[in-house]
Homo-oligomer: A and B are copies of this chain.
């Protein structure tokens, strides 16, 4: 299969794990490989309400058999979904535009921000990932140094979790102000501060809630907007709030969403303040052939049904706290663990060298990720040094699953 894949799909595709997984089935928090072995999925937030959730599958099947057209015809589905989804956000975010992918959502958000501000200067974090279109690859340093950043992009170090909590926000805001000044010195008008509100690829930086507000104020003072990239933190993941930005007490100008919205069905979008939308709307029409089609919004509605009906935000809050408490216990036994952090069911476990330098240990994280996979538990790593275990399971993850994960991590750390 590896040879066939290299031949057919070419050199740009990557697989997870030293021993890649060949999956054939999924259910809830479980994935099953071709040999019938089960793996605990502690990584895939796309299957937010659990792999192959029957309510979502039925909604997709029913709508696919009924009608699947596009947004140039009237359809109740997209309006009902937009109303319901916008209803989970502050009222200022009045419009919803639907795309198929988070990349398309961020790409559209940048176009809207440029139309509104008349600028294109962008401030992002140093190991950010925002998507895979040409415009977003220029704003995704985590793709590697061979992918050039745009000349209109300035990066700032991610928020520093080592600082006393009351200093995290001011320090981050100082960096953002410096980046804005650099843009202006280059003659570039700031368009937006664009951040993932849990800083997923920078290493999962969640605390203290509220620390983002001062940086947002700084960008607004310079005439730019705040775009909250909720592709990873959004839709209840943090347990405390439906959206990551709500934890920070800020109301973004644009909110981009993706991965979990359709539980794997391609569905993503942008929520935007009407006054920010006006300039783009007067200059340009927007049509996305599959974006917000009747099947996609049926999937999206079903996902919201399950999140509400099964109390998955409360579950994320409870199980996430339980998981981090158990990981804190583990950290007392294993000096390689430098920090355990996160919100709801999004957790980062930082691994450091055990000598005095306490340097980020990406190699150890890679070994742990692969050892856990051999033990049947799927996680990945994040951060500029790849040294933060990224634990981001479906929201139906329970305490018993957290126990399995902690046992596998303990065994991997001992090995």
List the interface of chain A (C-beta within 8 A of B). 1-2, 4-5, 7-16, 20-26, 31, 44, 46-47, 51-52, 54, 56-57, 60-61, 64-76, 78-79, 82-83, 86, 94-97, 99-104, 107-108, 110-111, 132-135, 137, 143-144, 146-147, 258-259, 263-266, 272, 274, 277-278, 280-291, 293, 295-296
> If the complex has contacts A9-B97, A95-B8, are A65 and B74 also in contact, measured as CB distance less than 8 A?
no
Tell me if A65 and B75 are in contact (CB < 8 A).
no
Tell me if A274 and B79 are in contact (CB < 8 A).
no
A21 contact set on B, CB distance < 8 A: 73-74
A20 contact set on B, CB distance < 8 A: 73-74
Tell me if B23 and A69 are in contact (CB < 8 A).
yes
A2 contact set on B, CB distance < 8 A: 74
Tell me if A143 and B284 are in contact (CB < 8 A).
yes
A394 → chain B, closest Cβ, in Å?
12
Tell me if A67 and B26 are in contact (CB < 8 A).
yes
Please name the residue on chain B nearest to A52 by beta carbon.
B65
A67 contact set on B, CB distance < 8 A: 23-26, 31, 51-52
A61 contact set on B, CB distance < 8 A: 57, 60-61, 64-65
A390 → chain B, closest Cβ, in Å?
13
Tell me if A69 and B134 are in contact (CB < 8 A).
no
- The CA of A16 and the CA of B287, in the complex, are separated in Å by 12
Please name the residue on chain B nearest to A290 by beta carbon.
B266
A134 contact set on B, CB distance < 8 A: 107, 110-111, 133-135
Select A104's contact among B13, B103, B274, beta carbons within 8 Å.
B103
Tell me if B10 and A285 are in contact (CB < 8 A).
no
- The CA of A107 and the CA of B322, in the complex, are separated in Å by 43
> Can you name 13 A-B pairs with beta carbons within 8 Å?
A4-B83, A10-B97, A13-B287, A20-B74, A23-B69, A23-B73, A25-B66, A46-B69, A51-B69, A61-B64, A134-B135, A265-B295, A266-B266
- The CA of A317 and the CA of B4, in the complex, are separated in Å by 35
A286 contact set on B, CB distance < 8 A: 12-13, 132
- The CA of A57 and the CA of B147, in the complex, are separated in Å by 39
The 3 closest A-B pairs by CB, nearest first: A11-B281, A10-B95, A61-B61
- The CA of A274 and the CA of B10, in the complex, are separated in Å by 7
11 more A-B residue pairs beyond the given contacts A2-B74, A5-B79, A14-B287, with a C-beta to C-beta distance below 8 A = A1-B76, A9-B97, A13-B71, A15-B73, A21-B73, A64-B265, A68-B264, A69-B264, A100-B104, A264-B295, A266-B266
- The CA of A84 and the CA of B259, in the complex, are separated in Å by 28
A263 → chain B, closest Cβ, in Å?
8
- The CA of A76 and the CA of B69, in the complex, are separated in Å by 29
- The CA of A413 and the CA of B285, in the complex, are separated in Å by 29
Select A64's contact among B52, B74, B146, B289, beta carbons within 8 Å.
B52
Tell me if B73 and A22 are in contact (CB < 8 A).
yes
Tell me if A60 and B64 are in contact (CB < 8 A).
yes
Please name the residue on chain B nearest to A46 by beta carbon.
B289
Tell me if A8 and B285 are in contact (CB < 8 A).
no
A51 → chain B, closest Cβ, in Å?
7
A9 contact set on B, CB distance < 8 A: 71, 78-79, 82, 95-97
